[in-house]
């Protein structure tokens, strides 16, 4: 039915169909958090977790809706 899972985590053995899924998964083991919030300096392992966190600032006094486009993601290494 689907393509075989070819990318296996060397730490726990979990397998993935695409290499990017393995890269994201490995952050569980390495504790790497390359996505940082520029408003409060918290760090996250995935871009989606950072986006979810940003809702705190959208609703709070630190950020107005007009400045939301000023956020950027800091990567420790290229993808």
Region of residue 34 (left: phi > 0; alpha: psi -120 to 50; beta: else): alpha
Point out the residues of the chain with pLDDT beneath 70: 1-2, 60-79
Cβ atoms of 16 and 25 within 8 Å: the answer is: yes
Instruction: Give the pLDDT of residue 61.
Output: 57
Instruction: Give the pLDDT of residue 59.
Output: 74
Render pLDDT for 5-17 as a digit per residue (tens, 0 to 9). Answer: 899 999 999 999 9
Instruction: Give the pLDDT of residue 65.
Output: 47
Give the residue carrying structure tokens 């730490």: 11
Distance CA 35, CA 53 (A): 11
């Amino acid at each position: 039915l689907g393509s075989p899972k070819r990318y296996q985590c060397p730490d726990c053995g979990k397998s993935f169909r695409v290499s990017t899924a393995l890269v994201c998964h490995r952050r569980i083991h390495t504790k790497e958090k390359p996505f940082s919030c520029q408003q409060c300096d918290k760090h996250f392992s995935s871009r989606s977790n950072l986006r979810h966190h940003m809702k705190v600032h959208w609703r709070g006094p630190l950020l107005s809706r007009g400045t939301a486009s000023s956020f950027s993601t800091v990567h420790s290494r290229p993808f």
